[in-house]
Amino acid sequence: CGVSMSELSRPCRMMLLVNPQSGKGQALTLYNNHIQRMLNEAGVPHTLVITERQNHARELVKEADLSQWDALVIMSGDGLLFEVINGLLDRPDWEEAIRTPLGILPGGSGNALAASVHHYSGAASAFSEELLVSCGFLLCKGLVSRMDLVSIHLPSSPRLFSFLSLAWGFVADVDIESEKYRHVGAARFTVGTLVRLASLRASSIGPASVANKSLSGPPDSLLLPLDQPPPADWVVVQEEDFVLMLAMYQSHLAEDLFAAPGAIPDDGVIHLFYVRAGISRTALLKLFLAMEKGAHLATNCQHLVYTKVRALRLEPYSPKGIITVDGEVVEYDQTHKHIQTFQTLCEPS
C-alpha cells in the first residue's frame, strides 16, 4: 500500500487511554470484550487510563514521563487523539515527544483515523466491532508508520495541529449537528447528512486560517502570516459561493466515508475538495452516497473540484459558520470581513 512500516520494540509498554463517554458510551465494554484479551494474548503489557473529562488526556500527556511508555494508544473517536497530539506538541520537548508511537482503536462515533489505518493495511473495508478487532490485531503486531500533521493558524487562537481534516460548510455543519445523533453511532454522519440536506441553506461562503505568532513547537515552512498576502506562486480561487470545503490528509472521514482514496499517511499532501454553489440536493446526496465506496470522484459532478495541495488558506466571508479541525469546532472569526474574496491557495505541485 506504499506505506513504510517499522516495528515496535518488545516488550512494549503501552498506555491505553479509553474515553468511556465516546460513541455510544461503550468503549469500556468494547475494551473488556475484545482488546484486553487480545493484548494479553499478544503479551503486550498495558496500563489502562480512563479519561474523566475533556482535556484530561491532553493534560496527562503534556506532563507525562514519556520514557515510561513505548506507545500511547487511544480508544475513543478522533477527538481524543486530537487532544493527545496537541498535548505532545505543547511540551518543551515536543520534538522528542511527538516521536512517541501512537495507536488508535475505534471506540467513538467518528473513527476516521482507525478506518484510514485499517485501509492502509490493505484489508477489505470493515465496520464497528470488525474494524475494532482489525485495529486490535494491527496494534498487537506493533507496526508503526510515519504520519503527516498539518499546522493550522486561526486569527486569534493558539496554533493547532491536525492529523485528519479541515472542513468548512456542509461537512463541518453535518459533523457538529450530527452530535445529537450520537446514539446511532457511526451512522450519525449519514443521518446527519440527510437531515442537513433537508435543511440546506441556499448558499454560504468560506472562512479561513493562517497567522503567525511567536511560536514554540514545529516551525512552519509553507505558511505566511495571515496579515500578509500569500506568496505569488499560490493559486487563488476567486470569490464564489461554496457549499463546502474539505481538506483531508487521511483516506477516511468516517468509517463509511472514503473521502480521499489517494491519501497515504506520510506524503505531505493535502487532498482539497470543494463544491460550488448551484449543486442540487440530489446531486449532493449522490456525492455522499458514492463516498462510501470512494466513488465520488467518478461521478463527474460538475460542481465538485478536487486538487492536491501542500498548504492552503481559507478566508471567511459569511458572517456565521462552522469550521472544524479533525471534527472539532474551532474559532470562526471573520477578521477579514473587508476582503471580498474567498481564496483557496495552493503551492504548484
List residues near ligand ADP by CB under 6 A.
Answer: 19-23, 51-54, 56, 76-80, 83, 108-110
Q: Which residues contact 103 (CB under 8 A, 6 or more apart)?
A: 14, 71, 72, 73, 74, 139
Alpha carbon distance 289, 283 (integer Å): 10
Question: What's the closest the beta carbon of residue 115 comes to ligand ADP, in angstroms?
Answer: 12
Question: What's the closest the beta carbon of residue 158 comes to ligand ADP, in angstroms?
Answer: 16
How far is CA 290 from each of CA 83, 141, 162, 326, rounded to the nearest angstrom?
A: 31, 33, 26, 22
Say which entry of ligand ADP, Mg ion, none residue 142 contacts (CB below 5 to 8 A, set by partner kind): none
Site string for Mg ion, 291-330 (x = CB under 5 A): ------------------------------------x---
User: Whose grid coordinates read 520534538?
Assistant: 95
Indicate the residue among 182 and 286 with the shorter CB distance to Mg ion: 182
Contact between 77 and Mg ion by CB under 5 A: the answer reads: yes
78 classed as catalytic:
yes
How far is CA 58 from each of CA 37, 105, 228, rounded to the nearest angstrom?
A: 27, 17, 32
Indicate the residue among 53 and 338 with the shorter CB distance to ligand ADP: 53
Indicate the residue among 118 and 336 with the shorter CB distance to ligand ADP: 118
Quote the crossing angle between the two packed helices 281-291 and 188-198, to the nearest 10°. 170
Containing H/E element for 236?
A: strand 235-236
Question: What's the closest the beta carbon of residue 144 comes to ligand ADP, in angstroms?
Answer: 21
With the CA atoms of 32, 35, 40 and 45 taken in that order, what torsion angle do they form, in degrees rounded to the nearest 10?
-100
Say which entry of ligand ADP, Mg ion, none residue 36 contacts (CB below 5 to 8 A, set by partner kind): none
Report the amino acid identity of residue 169. G
Indicate the residue among 84 and 208 with the shorter CB distance to ligand ADP: 84
**Active-site amino acid positions:** 78
The residues that touch Mg ion, with contacts defined as CB under 5 A, are: 77, 79, 110, 327
